[in-house]
């Protein structure tokens, strides 16, 4: 009896409830894929605002850089790399670092001993930048 009564209440509940559904339709946003025509200008302006590449940027045109400047920068990096290897070898080797003034390419390098370590001052004559590195004593 309880089963019949419970089944009746469930049937009455679903029969009394207004059940409706609608069809879901996908509408594309991009007009290239069938979307609304006037969305095109909005999408184009958003894409142009997010575009990081411009006609004048070096990322856009890899041939806009001067090959001689690239060679000069590469040579300077190699000289500094060789110098840093020599300084580290001398600092941790038995000979020690020889103090003095060195001119390598666009760089003037001064090596002087100090109380807290060896002071290495690198001056770039091309840009006027100066960097001081202190190699501590061990």
Report the SS3 class of residue 26: coil
pLDDT digit string (tens) for 8-38?
Answer: 777 776 666 666 778 888 888 888 888 888 8
45, 75 Cβ separation under 8 angstroms: no
Domain ranges of the chain: 67-136
63, 57 Cβ separation under 8 angstroms: no
pLDDT digit string (tens) for 75-117?
Answer: 888 888 887 777 667 655 655 557 888 877 788 888 888 888 8
Sheet with 100-104, edge to edge strand ranges: 100-104, 107-113, 117-124, 130-136
Give the separation between CA 58 and CA 61, rounded to whole angstroms: 5
DSSP 8: H
Give the separation between CA 23 and CA 62, rounded to whole angstroms: 52
Query: Quick check: pTM over 0.75?
Result: no
């Amino acid at each position: 009896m309880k089963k019949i009564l419970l089944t009746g209440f469930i049937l009455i509940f679903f029969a009394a409830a207004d059940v409706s559904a609608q069809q879901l339709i996908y509408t594309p946003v991009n007009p290239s894929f069938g979307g609304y025509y006037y969305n095109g200008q909005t999408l184009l302006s958003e894409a142009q605002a997010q575009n990081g590449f411009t006609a004048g940027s070096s990322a856009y045109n890899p041939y806009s850089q001067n090959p001689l400047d690239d060679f000069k920068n590469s040579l300077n990096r190699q000289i500094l790399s060789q110098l840093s290897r020599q300084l580290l070898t001398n600092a941790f080797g038995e000979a020690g670092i020889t103090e003095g003034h060195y001119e390598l390419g666009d760089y003037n390098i001064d090596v002087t001993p100090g109380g807290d370590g060896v002071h290495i001052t690198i001056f770039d004559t091309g840009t006027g930048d100066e960097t001081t590195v202190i190699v501590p004593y061990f």
